[in-house]
Amino acid sequence: MGTLRALRQLAKEHGTPLVVVDHEVLRRNYATFKRYLPRVQAYYAVKANPDPAIVKTLFDAGGSFDVASMPEFRIVYEYIKDMPAKQRQEWIWDKIIYANPIKANDTLQELDQYKALVTYDNEEEIRKIKKHAPNTGLALRLKVPNTGAMVELSSKCGAAPGEAVDLILAAHRAGLVVEGLSFHVGSQTTNFENFVQAINLAASVFEEAKARGYTKMNLLDIGGGFPAPYDASVKPFSELARKINAELDRLFPKDIEILAEPGRFMVATAATAISKIIGKAVRDGKLCYYVDDGVYNTFSGIIFDHCHYHMEAFRKGPRQICTVFGPTCDALDVISMSEELPADLERGDLLFSRNIGAYSVASATQFNGFPPAKVVHINQ
């Protein structure tokens, strides 16, 4: 991310609240993922931040894409719509996975024309796909342990391993082709054993399917959950990659294609939020700062993503524990109840928050009439 001087200059030029996205960081994160997981094709989880400029940078870097809605699909499709039809079809098959296991009928009908790869996890979805999208390829979503993940996902999606092969065979009997398996260990997973257990579960399902006569599976999608380095407690990505590579090499032949759905890992560290102090008060003996951004805007990840973002000041000075509030009149609009900041900041001074690229702007609202922050892109 840019220097503090550069960030202050951008805030002066564009005003606040402001989010600065550094595309050099995006490219670096993508390269890091590929370097440590050379066997794994990265399908960027567009939901983490669907900004078309971010998608374009990862597209140009060679990335693939995990989409979970048709609007997300269309963001990616914009960059391939002018390809010849055959090339466009091949690109969609190789580069996009529709990884939402539950899909509306009209969504399936639209996906069918692209012969897309989609996930499923139950018999009702098989019936829907058979009727509305028989030309799609399928990946069965497995339920796997999410222990230690910041955001747990297994209670909503995923077939139990014990019923997995029955669901594969049911899809096969319906005339559909199950290309492979997918799973998700939970968002921001710092418990690396989740990946180890999930890969082993998937290998067992592959073996059972083969033993029961189904031999058409040729891909494994190991999902997302790759943690962003929000603080020093997050172990290095290289350590996680070593564990994943060892299990993949031990359990899956080289002819099995390996996919992943990194979202947060790609984009979290690529953005910084800048806000302005609009009010200051002492309440119950505690210094409180009010800023022009909050949990209904860029800091929505506090509510929706179970994330905590640290605020920092551009100015130095004696520090004390403060509360930082957002601009709305809602008592829920609290960025931090315990932030160490200079005590002599005044109205008009700027604060900033690093590593705010994921699940922030993506879920911002205009509650109470406050518009989302302006987004500025650098190093495109």
Residues 155 and 274 in one domain: no
Residues 320 and 229 in one domain: no
Respond yes or no: is residue 307 known to be catalytic. no
pLDDT at residue 3, as a whole number: 86
pLDDT at residue 153, as a whole number: 59
- CA–CA dist 272, 14 (Å, integer): 14
Residues 199 and 88 in one domain: yes
pLDDT at residue 363, as a whole number: 93
Residues 130 and 254 in one domain: yes
- CA–CA dist 40, 316 (Å, integer): 44
Last residue of a domain, one of 250, 268, 286: 268
pLDDT at residue 231, as a whole number: 87
pLDDT at residue 293, as a whole number: 97
Whole-prediction pTM: 0.94
Residues 345 and 233 in one domain: no
pLDDT at residue 145, as a whole number: 65
**On the CB side of 228, how many CA atoms lie within 13 Å of its CA?**
27
Residues 234 and 335 in one domain: no
Out of 157, 288, 322, 329, the active site residue is 329
pLDDT at residue 189, as a whole number: 83
Which CATH number do you get for residue 253? 3.20.20.10
Residues 184 and 106 in one domain: yes
Q: Which two tokens stand for residue 262?
A: 């990194």
Residues 213 and 310 in one domain: no
Residues 248 and 283 in one domain: no
Residues 354 and 280 in one domain: yes
pLDDT at residue 155, as a whole number: 63
pLDDT at residue 305, as a whole number: 85
Last residue of a domain, one of 218, 247, 268: 268
Last residue of a domain, one of 226, 245, 268: 268
Taking Cα atoms as reference points, which of 272, 269, 260, 291 lies closest to residue 353? 272
Assess contact for 107 and 85: CB atoms under 8 A.
no
Per the structure, the complete domain to which residue 355 belongs is given by: 4-19+270-378
Q: Which residues does the chain have with pLDDT short of 70?
A: 1-2, 145, 147-155
Residues 238 and 323 in one domain: no
Which CATH number do you get for residue 15? 2.40.37.10
Q: How many domains does the chain have?
A: 2
Q: What is the CA radius of gyration of the chain?
A: 22
Residues 331 and 254 in one domain: no
pLDDT at residue 1, as a whole number: 54
